[in-house]
Amino acid sequence: MNAQHKGMRPPKKHQPRGLPILYEDKDLLIVDKPPGLLTVGTDRDKTRTAHYLLNDYVRRGNPKSRNRVYVVHRLDRDTSCLLVFAKSEAAKTFLQ
């Protein structure tokens, strides 16, 4: 994986509702997390999270797909900021 990129790719047309994807390539996703959205699930709320929405996005709604995203870092629910998700374990290890 190369830490530098040669320009930003526009996100695909299908985007998770309420979670704008600002950048995507074969290794990572960068999203603009709004306040009020969890990064990862809790016992009470497992589906209204950035992690869940992006897993659904990379699987294109197919729950049998093996595609997934990996959490690189987390933000509190009330914090808005850019979040990075890896698209492979190798990318996650590199970014952490």
- pLDDT tens, 18-59? 899 999 999 999 999 999 999 888 788 787 899 999 999 998
Superfamily of domain 21-95: Pseudouridine synthase (3.30.2350.10)
Q: Which two tokens stand for residue 52?
A: 């869940």
Whether the pLDDT of residue 90 is over 70: the answer is: yes
Whether the pLDDT of residue 2 is over 50: the answer is: no
In 1-96 the beta strands, taken as DSSP E runs, fall at 21-24, 28-33, 70-71, 81-86
Per the annotation, the verdict on 45 as an active-site residue is no
Q: Are strands 28-33 and 70-71 parallel, antiparallel or unpaired?
A: unpaired
Residue 1: per-residue pLDDT: 46
In our burial notation (b when 16+ CB lie closer than 10 A, e otherwise), range 51-64 reads bbbbbbbbeeeeee
Residue 83: per-residue pLDDT: 94
Q: Are strands 70-71 and 21-24 parallel, antiparallel or unpaired?
A: unpaired
Residue in 32, 56, 76, 78 annotated catalytic: 76
Q: Where are the chain's structural domains?
A: 21-95
- 83 - beta bridge partners? 31
3: confidence class by pLDDT, cuts 50, 70, 90: very low
